[in-house]
Each structure stands twice: as structure tokens, then as C-alpha cells.
């Protein structure tokens, strides 16, 4: 897993656009309708550049044979009353490499990154009934509730969204050791 800097984004934007287009085509409810134009996807990714530069968003990628096939974001709260929390967003794995543990590795990477930045409360949402729910539940995320008709899926149908939380424990043991 690789943490990207804002200056790295232009060099991987084509792979990220392909990844986002694939996710939407595969039915992932990640904010876009199908069919998603590749140029729109690329523009959306490039729109994160200032947030990456400012450290408000962290972006990790997973590569197979040099190509980006997975990604996850950690959006750090910038509220005075929320320096301990962050939102997990856009955990995407290309359909042709699913089942290899890439999603779980990205999730764990984001959780470690959160702890390293003093974030102990993570939040996320996902379409109710999606395959992502199994990943989050098995990873220790706790369901907080379901909002009916929260978002349109890629086909344009209103679907419920499930909200999750995960409390992370600060590392224990000798300095330098990290545990989730």
C-alpha cells in the first residue's frame, strides 16, 4: 500500500479514473451514476489535489503489476471538537482483482494511518446489502443504523445506506509498536 502525496496524483489519475468507472459499472454506490464518463472520473480525482496537499485527505493506493487496482481515503475532521475522528471513504478494488485481500489490506492501512494521526473514531457509510458490508462487519466495524432512501445507486434507484463506526485503541506496548 502506498500513501500518495498531492504531487503524485496526476501520475495515477488515469488508473484511479479507470478504477472509479469500474466500481460504478459494477454497481458500487460511491456517488456517481452509470455510465460514468472517464473524463468526469478523472476530474473528480484531480479535485482532491488541494485537500491532499493540505493534509485534510489521505489517499492510499494498491498496485498490481505497477497499475493502481485499489484505493481508500481517510478524510480527517478539521472541526475543533473532532480532532479524534475521521471518515473512511471510497474504498474501491477493481473487479478483476477482488478476492485477493486487497480491500482488507487497504482498510487496515487506513486504520493504521488514522491511529498514527491520533484519530481513534472512524466513520463510514455504504449501501445497505452491498458486499462491502461483509468486509466492514468482519473488520470490527459496528453498524449504527440504516437510513432508507439515502442515496441513488448507479442505476438511479433510491437505496438505503448503512452507517458504521470503528473505535481504534491507541497503540500499546513498547514505543514504536502498533496494534489495532
Is residue 31, in this structure, part of any structural domain at all? yes
Is residue 62, in this structure, part of any structural domain at all? yes
pLDDT at 170 (0 to 100) = 79
> Which element (helix H / strand E) includes 17?
helix 9-25
Query: Distances in Å between the alpha carbon of 96 and those of 54, 132, 171?
Result: 33, 16, 35
Is residue 180, in this structure, part of any structural domain at all? no
> Rounded distance, CA 152 to CA 161, Å?
10
Of 170 and 58, the one with more pLDDT: 58
Q: Which domain holds residue 38?
A: 2-167
Which distant-in-sequence residues (6+ apart) come within 8 Å of 24 by Cβ?
30, 32, 33, 34, 35, 36, 154
pTM score above 0.75: yes
Q: What is the CATH number of the domain that holds 100?
A: 3.40.630.30
> Rounded distance, CA 45 to CA 42, Å?
5
Q: Give the pLDDT confidence of 65-93 residue by residue, as tens digits.
A: 999 999 999 999 999 999 999 999 999 99
Is residue 175, in this structure, part of any structural domain at all? no
Total number of domains in the chain: 1
* 96 pLDDT tier (thresholds 50, 70, 90): very high
Q: Give the pLDDT confidence of 3-19 residue by residue, as tens digits.
A: 999 999 999 999 999 99
Amino acid at each position: 500500500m502506498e500513501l500518495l502525496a498531492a504531487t503524485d496524483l496526476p501520475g495515477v489519475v488515469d488508473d484511479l479514473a479507470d478504477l472509479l468507472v469500474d466500481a460504478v459499472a459494477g454497481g458500487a454506490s460511491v456517488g456517481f451514476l452509470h455510465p460514468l464518463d472517464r473524463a468526469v472520473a478523472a476530474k473528480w480525482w484531480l479535485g482532491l489535489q488541494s485537500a491532499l496537499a493540505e493534509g485534510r485527505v489521505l489517499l492510499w493506493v494498491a498496485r498490481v503489476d505497477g497499475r493502481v487496482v485499489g484505493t481508500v481515503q481517510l478524510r480527517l475532521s478539521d472541526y475543533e471538537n473532532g480532532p479524534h475522528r475521521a471518515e473512511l471513504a471510497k474504498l474501491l478494488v477493481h473487479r478483476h482483482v477482488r478476492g485477493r485481500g486487497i480491500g482488507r489490506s487497504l482498510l487496515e492501512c487506513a486504520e493504521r494511518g488514522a491511529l498514527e494521526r491520533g484519530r481513534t473514531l472512524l466513520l463510514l457509510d455504504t449501501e445497505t446489502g452491498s458486499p462491502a458490508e461483509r468486509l466492514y462487519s468482519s473488520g470490527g466495524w459496528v453498524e449504527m443504523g440504516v437510513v432508507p432512501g439515502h442515496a441513488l445507486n448507479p442505476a438511479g434507484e433510491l437505496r438505503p445506506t448503512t452507517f458504521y463506526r470503528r473505535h481504534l485503541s491507541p497503540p500499546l506496548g513498547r514505543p514504536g509498536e502498533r496494534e489495532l
